[in-house]
Amino acid sequence: MARSTASLRDALRVRPGTRVKLANVDPSATHGHTKESAADELTAGLAGLTDLQDRLWAEGKHKVLVVLQGIDAAGKDGTLRHVMGAFNPQGCPVTSFKVPSADELAHDYLWRVHRAVPGKGEIGVFNRSHYEDVLVVRVHDIVPKTVWSRRYDQINAFEQLLADSGTTIVKFFLYIDRDEQRERFQARLDDPTKRWKFRLGDLEERKRWDDYIAAYEDVLARCSTAAAPWYVIPSNRNWFRNLAVANILADTLDELNPRYPEPTEDLTGVVIE
Q: What confidence category does residue 266 fall into, taking pLDDT thresholds of 50, 70 and 90? A: confident
Q: What confidence category does residue 3 fall into, taking pLDDT thresholds of 50, 70 and 90? A: very low
pLDDT, tens digit, 9 for 90 and up, residues 153-182:
999 999 999 999 999 999 999 999 999 999
pLDDT, tens digit, 9 for 90 and up, residues 13-47:
999 999 999 999 999 999 999 999 999 999 999 99
Element (H, E) at 113: helix 111-116
Q: List, in order of start, the domains of the chain with CATH numbers.
A: 4-256 (3.40.50.300)
Q: pTM of the entire structure? A: 0.95
pLDDT for position 206: 97
Element (H, E) at 115: helix 111-116
- How confident is the model over 242-263, as a mean pLDDT? 96
- How confident is the model over 177-194, as a mean pLDDT? 96
Long-range contacts (CB closer than 8 Å, 24 or more residues apart) made by 72-75 = 72/181, 72/185, 72/202, 72/205, 72/206, 73/176, 73/180, 73/181, 73/184, 73/185, 73/188, 73/202, 74/174, 74/175, 74/176, 74/181, 74/235, 75/174, 75/176, 75/235, 75/238, 75/241
Q: What confidence category does residue 7 fall into, taking pLDDT thresholds of 50, 70 and 90? A: confident
